[in-house]
Structure 1
């Protein structure tokens, strides 16, 4: 199974954090929805899933709605603190998430958030491709995506695509040699 990590970064390379003062760009959200639809699934952490359901975002009803943006998708939440969320599958680890999606017949797994989940997949060498949407903002204190949390290692990547999404968001797509 091909695993694709999808993230938004700031122009200075931090993992972009959404706040009421700095909400995600609509172009990036639309791109995420398109990738999720193409994959038929997405994997998130519990906190990101809860943020998705914040006012003005995707409601539990929309997740279950046959006409909603995520209708018919396998949504996998990785959490050690909760065991059941209606309409989604809860697992304990990145490998368990991938095993579940593989068992369901998916060819691609979309890993979509947050930073801890991304770093966990990267640290375990479970990512084949990354899609970075670079937002037109500089962030003071931010989180980083790490391939090895204990060392200063490097991982070569190959640029597959670079394109503007609109709203001054630029998308970079890289293959990671596993």
Structure 2
């Protein structure tokens, strides 16, 4: 029997719950003193598939002018507009639940849902996330793109671990299903 892969949300947030400012800036995040890569490498080794929204993908292309940061990983971009696949990513606009369940049933490592806000909301709303690793930055940015949008149900979590990376606190939760 194939071990079912997990969908893992791995993301940083401000203490007041935002993943970016209104203009998609992460400058607030990079101004905080961390430790090493704040657990990124350890997490990155546990996944072989990356899922992101279109705005996140476009932002990434603007920021990473050298090379695509997830080469060697299977990358999917959820987009409402049709786009042509390229050497780094496959674009997807079909049903999120069906597509994700197909991915989870394939052999492989875990699947990283990296953002953005709308995609995270879809995954939370459709109860697709198995684990959440949320790194909290000691910054209040006041307004921006929220990590979690309003839903009409409760989601219970079990705390698996807490790690400290200098000024960052990483909270690792398992979603109760």
| Category of TM-score, reference length = shorter chain | 0.7 to 0.9
Q: Tell me the residue number matched to 2:64.
A: 58
1:159 & 1:5 partners in 2: Cα distance?
14
Structure 1 residue 14: deviation in Å? Answer: 2.9
Cα root mean square deviation, aligned: 2.7
Q: Which has the higher contact order (CA 8 A, sep 6+)?
A: 2
Structure 1 residue 96: deviation in Å? Answer: 4.8
Structure 2 residue 46 is matched with structure 1 residue 41: no
1:20 & 1:108 partners in 2: Cα distance?
25
- Would the alpha carbon gap of residues 97 and 116 (structure 1) be closer, same or farther in structure 2, given more than 3 Å must change? same
Residues paired across the two proteins, number: 167
Q: Tell me the residue number matched to 2:75.
A: 75
Q: Flag structure 1 segments of 5+ consecutive residues without an equivalent.
A: 64-68
SS at match of 1:43: strand
CA contact (8 A) 1:156 1:177 kept: yes
- Would the alpha carbon gap of residues 84 and 26 (structure 1) be closer, same or farther in structure 2, given more than 3 Å must change? farther
Deviation digits for residues 113-161 of structure 1, max 9, x if unmatched? 1010101000000011111110121011133344753x2x322111101
TM-score of the superposed pair, with normalisation by structure 1:
0.79
CA contact (8 A) 1:131 1:174 kept: yes
Deviation digits for residues 86-133 of structure 1, max 9, x if unmatched? 121111243354245346522411100101010100000001111111
Structure 2 residue 18 is matched with structure 1 residue 5: no
Q: Flag structure 2 segments of 5+ consecutive residues without an equivalent.
A: none
Runs of 4+ deviating beyond 4 Å: 23-29
